[in-house]
Amino acid sequence: MRSDTVEAMEESAVRKEVRTWLADAWDADIGLVAWRERLVEAGWGVPSWPRAWFGRGLPVWTDRVVAEELRAVGAVGMPLGAGMTLAAPTLLQHGSDELRARLLRPSLTGALRWCQLFSEPGAGSDLAGLTTTAVSDGDEWVVNGQKVWNTSAHHADMAILVARTDWAVPKHAGISYFVLPMHQQGVEVRPIVQMNRHASFNEVFLTDARIPAANLVGDLGDGWRVARTTLHHERSFATMRRPRFDGNDSTGRTVREAIVEAEEHFATYVWYPQRAGRADLVVELARTRGLANHPVVRQEIARLLSFVRASEWTAARGQAARALGRTPGPEGSLGKLAASEVARRSASVHALVAGAQGMLRDGPLATDAIVAEVLVSTVAQSIAGGTDEIQRNIVGDNILGLPREPSADRETPFGDTMRARVVSAPEFASLDELDDWRFLLGGIHAEFRAGSFPAAAALVVAIADAAEAADHHPELAVRYPDRVRVGITTHVIGGLSDVDVTLARTVSSLARAAGATSEPATPQSLEIAIDTDDADRIRPFWLAVCNGHDVDGAVADPLRHLPTIWFQHTDELRTQRNRIHLDVTVPHDEAERRVAAALAAGGRLVTDHFARAFWVLADADGNEVCVCTWQDRTP
């Protein structure tokens, strides 16, 4: 028996089964989420998914069949938006069992709303060049960075996020994929107003945002592979159509809530038909303006509509492949390129037909506003969802089999490709023109006396202007009566870089020009160390009393008002009441003078065994302090 005949028989059986179920289960008044709970529980919401995860384990084509049967009785289908189309399929394929159990069901019912946080101001087409960072902090990840072009971020509950977790490996290998809770301090969403006056997108600023460690999707460093799954599904998300609610019982509560959901979702995309070019309007508009018989206009319209029809056939082939269960592949790039070309050609024809009047939103014809919006919107078609240049690379690599485009950074650690190069403390100490600066705890510091408080403030302004011009910003403080303190580090690499060195020389030059004098022996840093045999037992107390953050096991004040407190393991606790010692880090050429001064003031030397890394001193009561430098430390 032919396979298509077998499939037809199977399809008939599926239709019969789902019709029977719908006859008993469909309730137009139960409410949208409650109905979807019922749909998901029965496995008819996503019939092609595994039975263990709310499906029926059926072929992919059954998704289409069930959707048709739902529409036939006026029943509502699955949720619209990034949750159902992007997040859920990605979690199904790559998420842990715990993540799937926690997030799939509310995503399928629409109880959770999602957005996608991928693109960045400096990483759109080259998404792997992203610089948003996620740093492990106990049982959480701390995220800092900026995302852009984020649809629905303003009302999302959760986000799928890619962030850099390793700078020491090539860029694709250092990315991890997370689920980020959006409703938290540290997540700021701002709308972006476009040149067509719509505001469909947002930018999202992440400042010490926190993600539970369990929300890692896939393995650490495997985020690029996981993200590619999302990007494959993004093509179908971009072509999502508004659902129809024209069957029986279409006025019940369930359908009313679904209509509201659809209106809210598609309000974001109200200008997308104009972005696509509105090729469907060119004939009508040519007739309206009396240009239907103009030979050049007719020729351009014919050229456009022929290309549109050919593109539709290509899209149909891709849809047929997906209906057979094939994974979306590079053929999607051909469709994306065709859509960009349709948009460009449509805008050109609209401009030809409308002339200068095409620039008027409030022209005499009812269609003038549409044409004006087309002309300023079609440029987005060749950018959104992957630029035309990226799509051509995919076609060349995966369809035509051409050699890959040369990439100098393919095997290079991503941190080495950034404009910042790591500078070690010994290397810094050997550099010229840096006499004002001293290395302390991963950064460099200087202190200047400007002669008066106004002069100190003026120097701060000059430094701030130079930092803004360099797009690299130091820590600045003014201290009465005339002191300016400057600290510089490269946060993105977690230490000192050549960018810091350049800025330090600029700051020294500005200080000299202002007549300020340097005091290189004055920079210092204080940390508190607590000896304990169980840091986990006492750390919560210190976090609470200091209102601090747990950073790699230490207690850190996010505003840096208090010194960092860290915990030193000891197997034998001291019998004295006090188990705290202080770490005072000083410039390397100040350490021995500081030790001598402390001993002269009544202190005693506990040990200099670890000098020049640190000297252990104690006061008369036995309270200890380590005078520390960067020297003679193992990496």
366 phi, psi to nearest 5 deg:
-65, -25
Tokens of 484: 């300016």
**DSSP for 258-272, written as a single string:** HHHHHHHHHHTTTTH
Helix, strand, coil shares, percent, the chain, to 5: 45, 20, 35
- Return the sign of the alpha-carbon dihedral for residues 37, 43, 44, 50: positive
Separation between Cα atoms, residue 550 and residue 138, nearest integer Å: 7
Contact 132, 143 (CB under 8 A): yes
Query: Which distant-in-sequence residues (6+ apart) come within 8 Å of 486 by Cβ?
Result: 445, 446, 447, 448, 463, 474, 475, 476, 507
492 neighbors 426 (Cβ within 8 angstroms): no
**Secondary structure (3-state) at 542:** helix
Task: Give the span between the Cα atoms of 544 and 405, in whole angstroms.
Answer: 53
Give the Å distances, CA to CA, from 560 to 157, 246, 478, 526.
Answer: 31, 61, 15, 11
How far apart are the C-alpha atoms of 413 and 420, rounded to whole Å? 12
Do 381 and 277 touch, CB atoms closer than 8 A?
A: yes
Q: How far apart are CA 132 and CA 163, in angstroms?
A: 5
Instruction: Select from 112, 79, 204, 202 the least CA-distant residue to 152.
Output: 202
Task: Tell me which H or E stretch contains 108.
Answer: helix 97-109
Amino acid, single-letter form, for residue 602: G
Q: Please enumerate in sequence order all residues whose Cβ is within 8 A of that of 111, keeping only pairs 6 or more positions apart, or say none.
A: 33
How far, in Å, CA of 145 to CA of 151, rounded? Answer: 17
Which of 519, 434, 527 lies closest to 485, judged by CA?
519
In whole angstroms, what is the distance from residue 152 CA to residue 149 CA? Answer: 10
Amino acid at 127: L
3-state SS of 113-144? CEEEECCECCECCCHHHCCCEEEEECCEEEEE
Structure tokens at 246: 């024209």
The span from the CA of 116 to the CA of 549, in Å, is 27
Rounded CA-CA distance 488/443 in Å is 6
Return the DSSP state at 626: E
| Contact of 518 with 446, CB cutoff 8 Å | yes
7 flagged as catalytic? no
Catalytic residue (choose from 140, 234, 447, 624): 234
Q: Which DSSP category does 566 fall into?
A: E
DSSP code, position 290: T
- What DSSP character marks residue 533? S
**Catalytic positions, please?**
234
